[in-house]
Amino acid sequence: MLPPPPPYVEDGPLSPPPFPSQSRAPPTLITLPPHLLLRIVYDTFSGGPVKSQRKILYWLTMSLRLVNRALYIACMHVLRSTYLPAYSALVRPPYTSDPFPLSLPDSPYVPTSSTSPRSGTASLLPLQSVQRETRVLDLFIALKVREDVWADESELHLEREESFKDLFDLMQPRARLEDLVRTYGVREGVVSTSSSYSSSSPTASTPLLSPPCPSGKKGMNGHGAESSSSRWTNGTSRVASSRIPFSALSVSFSPRAVGLVLTTRERKKTIVQVPRTREETLEVSARKLVGELRAWVASNHGGFGVR
């Protein structure tokens, strides 16, 4: 005779399906999903007169975005999309602008243990974008919202033209040129955006370019030539180490010349400099810099740090 079937449920308190027995914490503003939080921020200034909308944008910039990470990203999404047309209109030819590229390289952002799907921030982008022109756009937004609110409050307030002069005469073309150098440099294999370089800057004791192995040194197998596995490993590491981290590079910009500056923990040094004309596009200048950088990397392949 067959034994009786086991009970369907174990002994203990039961909860009516489909409700779980554990009690859930009530949702808060921090635990909301990103798309709901973004909709809430959008609805704060939808409709109404233009003067009232400018005050709300000022409040988003000066107050709401400083509450936490999730609200910061939601507010910056609204602010950047709102002020991007005004920013693009002030870019001076022959300069170009691209603060939001279609595809970004590997980000140095690494999720921490505090980032959880429940908090709604696991899928959010990092606060610090690898696109350096994005920071220029953020500075423009902080200046523009203040000027707009002050102009609405008093007819005596006049927007000063020199307020935006440094942004679009120097900072915007320099940041755009740095982004182009990163794009072309990664394509040519001389610049790296890997997250392994983002935690610390290169030092003089840490070679940016690995020295070649002496020809007279014996390999691991006791012969003059290295084994196939060691040759592959050394070749792969040599190619990877010959790329300069983008975090250590910056651009020196002037109407007549542009250069690349390599920053270490001990000093800064201009490693590449090329002339340019006022009518020359930033794309042409970036290609020149990357070509000179490739030659510099080849000539410094046996050195340590900066020569």
pLDDT digits (tens, 9 = 90+) for 98-155: 998 755 544 444 443 343 434 433 343 456 678 999 999 999 999 999 988 888 887 7
Greater confidence, 31 or 108?
Answer: 31
Element (H, E) at 252: strand 249-253
At a CB cut-off of 8 Å and minimum separation 6, what does 121 contact?
Answer: 34, 69, 70, 115
pLDDT number for residue 118: 40
Greater confidence, 114 or 60?
Answer: 60
Section 25-51 average pLDDT:
84
Q: Are 91 and 97 in contact (CB under 8 A)?
A: yes
Element (H, E) at 285: helix 282-299
At a CB cut-off of 8 Å and minimum separation 6, what does 277 contact?
Answer: 256
Q: What is the DSSP letter of 65?
A: G
Handedness of CA 122, 128, 130, 131 (dihedral sign): positive
Q: What is the pLDDT of residues 244-299, one digit of tens each?
A: 999 999 999 998 999 999 998 888 999 999 999 989 999 999 999 999 999 999 88
Q: Are 70 and 80 in contact (CB under 8 A)?
A: no
pLDDT number for residue 72: 92
pLDDT number for residue 174: 95
- Residue 104 sits at φ, ψ, to 5 deg, of -105, 150
Q: What is the pLDDT of residues 193-225, one digit of tens each?
A: 874 433 333 333 334 443 334 444 444 444 444
At a CB cut-off of 8 Å and minimum separation 6, what does 143 contact?
Answer: 163, 164, 167
Owner of token pair 């084994």: 227
User: Distance between CA atoms of 171 and 183, rounded to whole angstroms?
Assistant: 18
Counting residues of the chain whose pLDDT is more than 90, the rounded percentage is 41
Residue 86 binned pLDDT confidence (cut-offs 50, 70, 90): very high
Predicted structure pTM score: 0.71
